[in-house]
Structure 1
């Protein structure tokens, strides 16, 4: 395998990550925090190594075939997390490298699980760096989901292939063109969100950081109490709107801005996603009423916020839904796996795969009832091929299998059953908080053993890379010509 195209892309992305480290350095320097030196040092190291790698491999075989795309997609998250962990490790936080890597990977994969406490008194550099990691990772996830995964035919993502770039050796120019339009939309949503937070009463710095982590559906906050710290109804609803916006297909935003006003809400995936949010929110309201938790608008707002936060994988919290009883625990455990739309920053199995499974089941029942009938499956008006159905079913099976293996391994490290199961689910689905007293909405991951954190980090990568991308690398045939 020719590793030069892979190293060229990783080098460019690493240099970009290094360049962003100077922003938190400037923020710390403004308030006189000595950690600005840490960010400048790590920024120089990361930028020089990334730029050097890019320069050494630039122009030497820039076409990227499918095998190289698999390797690049898997390696880039690990490499960026390695360098992204350095500011956490060298800053005055006292974090071990395990905790630093966990925090950086959680940010880049937009998982939102954290090992850091005392955020309310944290210097601005660290808070801004956490926000930048999620914002940077969210943009990378969109480009990967739209430009790379459809080419690799991962989990049915080939349904969303752009026909103008159908050849596998055109992944690079395709990614470049898509990245430009996606970045514009992504920045526009972030700016609107930040202004909305600020006008609702959130401090300007907090508004900027929360806008980055909301649109990225990441959920890292500048406060230990997350969004609930602001005790603002307006901020809660603004967060709901932009969490949903981050979980919708970004390609549809581009089409909307190009004049196709019907594309966004005529899409079946979007309609099912929004309908699912409404139904699950109603269930959460009923649970609160039955358990005597809250009533009226407060019950509706906490229900909708919690459902949207978990289902989109953002992980913000305005209420400890883990204390709403066993029915709520079961509901939010299920929501952890569902996720948002394909081509968004959200996580989980994704809505379109449940739609495909339903269409397959529907056709199977029809064939039993009418053995001589001929039925054609359609998704959004297009014919749904058997290869897509097989790919989706394989993905869902492996996804559940990966969750079960991770939960078993976590339990072997000494975690209780609730922590192990919800930890595995939240890592694989890149959601953030789990269930229970330890890693629930009111807790964090700092007290877990190091081995548990490394297992959870592996789960974050497997979930973010849609399982197949990681498994393929362990097949001997992949490395053979």
Structure 2
């Protein structure tokens, strides 16, 4: 008989953590004399009650999960956390429908960054802080899932990283929980460092904290309708670019660097390809703006760097309307938004390692066509790629675009402009 108790145990622990997190914006609203503290307090009580009940009812069960249980858990956790995370926004002064609140919380926890809220500049500080917390929690959740869960499930070629991390020479910490705890420490440290840089560059404390959380999570939520354009600061833009790039690199390699092994961080194939993409795409957009006389050289570079990195990493911050730059810019940004950052980061998209595997596979097939009797082996990080990894990656990419086409058609049928 299929045992659901380990799933309920983990779900209860995560719900309890979410409920505790709701108390933070609630207390902040209370200190700022905002009535929305009641919405957070009530939502926290409901979430904590259900979370603690699930935890206590299943306490003592083994937390070891089978592959089937892990599949169910990863699906269930996202849905249940989003469902409860929406409650404070429903009962806040924003007076959102549950559908809109669910969308907003889903966008936050998945670090998508799309929003249905207008008038952010006038929203209660607790709601703005909650949006930042959701993206921050979603970012660390994505990293932990990418390192601990997806390799076991062999999703989209992620088994490649299970093989690497199981090698004795590559292993830093023996248990997944220890790895997750160490990565969380790095995540917190980067968030605080980013907030400090924003403060120095001119943001107030609240804006610096919230934008640091959404920058490190590569989520893109902002406290202002104008997003990063609200600050109109080259220094803030470049700080955001730096930390968006840092957050799009594999966090597991930061662990190795902290252990004194910096080599893998500089030699990793996907990191080198990702940085190559950034340099190439920024240069193209910089030259394009100057050729079209859209911006002077200095401003053109600033806008190119910020918008390319923001879209490539899936963050979604905006400082200007690049749609006014012409058809080439629109198509260019549309293409690079699919790519994403590195596996094991907070970034979204296809991920650079999958693009690298796909390019290696295509290159090998072309060489085989030209030299039928040759022996050509696709490699990743100088190691041969197994056929099952290549097949998993290619299947993931195909499924990714099939889902995109289906969703685009569905939205078009609902009246959204093509």
TM-score, normalised relative to structure 1: 0.84
Q: Distance in 1 between matches of 2:175 and 2:77?
A: 18
1:60 aligns with 2:61: yes
Alpha-carbon offset, residue 163 of structure 1 = 5.9
Alpha-carbon offset, residue 365 of structure 1 = 1.6
- Cα pair 2:9 2:61 within 8 Å, conserved: no
Q: Which runs of 5 or more structure 1 residues have no equivalent in the other structure?
A: 167-172, 418-481
Q: Deviations over 1:346-373 (max 9, x none)?
A: 0000111111111111111222222222
Q: Give the paired residue count.
A: 411
1:408 aligns with 2:418: no
Q: Deviations over 1:190-237 (max 9, x none)?
A: 010000000111001100000000000001001111111111111110
Which residue is 2:345 aligned to?
A: 344
Helix, strand or coil: the match of 2:338?
Answer: helix
Q: Distance in 2 between matches of 1:162 and 1:207?
A: 39
Q: Distance in 2 between matches of 1:93 and 1:127?
A: 11
Which residue is 1:318 aligned to?
A: 319
- Cα pair 1:103 1:115 within 8 Å, conserved: yes
Q: Distance in 1 between matches of 2:367 and 2:286?
A: 36
Which residue is 1:353 aligned to?
A: 354
Q: Distance in 2 between matches of 1:353 and 1:223?
A: 34
1:264 aligns with 2:265: yes
- Cα pair 2:94 2:123 within 8 Å, conserved: no
Note the 1:380-391 alignment, pairs <5 A: 380-391=381-392
Note the 1:261-340 alignment, pairs <5 A: 261-340=262-341
Q: Distance in 2 between matches of 1:350 and 1:91?
A: 36
Helix, strand or coil: the match of 1:337?
Answer: coil
Which residue is 2:71 aligned to?
A: 70
Which residue is 1:135 aligned to?
A: 136
Q: Deviations over 1:63-90 (max 9, x none)?
A: 2000000010111111000000000000
- Cα pair 1:165 1:174 within 8 Å, conserved: no
Which residue is 2:192 aligned to?
A: 191
Alpha-carbon offset, residue 174 of structure 1 = 4.5
Alpha-carbon offset, residue 296 of structure 1 = 1.1
Which residue is 1:21 aligned to?
A: 22
- Which of structures 1 and 2 has the larger relative contact order (alpha carbons within 8 angstroms, sep 6+)? 1
Q: Distance in 1 between matches of 2:206 and 2:235?
A: 18
Q: Distance in 1 between matches of 2:376 and 2:59?
A: 50
Helix, strand or coil: the match of 1:372?
Answer: coil
- Cα pair 2:290 2:297 within 8 Å, conserved: no
Alpha-carbon offset, residue 10 of structure 1 = 1.1
Q: Deviations over 1:70-119 (max 9, x none)?
A: 01011111100000000000001021111100000000000000011111
Q: Which runs of 5 or more structure 2 residues have no equivalent in the other structure?
A: 168-173
| Aligned CA-pair RMSD | 1.3
Q: Distance in 1 between matches of 2:104 and 2:179?
A: 28
Which residue is 2:204 aligned to?
A: 203
1:118 aligns with 2:119: yes
Q: Distance in 1 between matches of 2:120 and 2:325?
A: 26
Q: Deviations over 1:39-74 (max 9, x none)?
A: 111111111211111111122243200000001011
Which residue is 2:170 aligned to?
A: none
Q: Distance in 1 between matches of 2:165 and 2:283?
A: 42
Which residue is 2:148 aligned to?
A: 147
CA shift in 2, pair 1:109/1:194, >3 Å? same
1:223 aligns with 2:224: yes
- Cα pair 1:215 1:243 within 8 Å, conserved: yes
Q: Deviations over 1:134-174 (max 9, x none)?
A: 000000000001111111110111111166669xxxxxx95
1:368 aligns with 2:351: no
* Structure 1 range deviating more: 257-266 or 22-31: 257-266
Q: Deviations over 1:397-451 (max 9, x none)?
A: 111100000001001101111xxxxxxxxxxxxxxxxxxxxxxxxxxxxxxxxxx
Which residue is 1:3 aligned to?
A: 4
Q: Distance in 2 between matches of 1:298 and 1:274?
A: 22
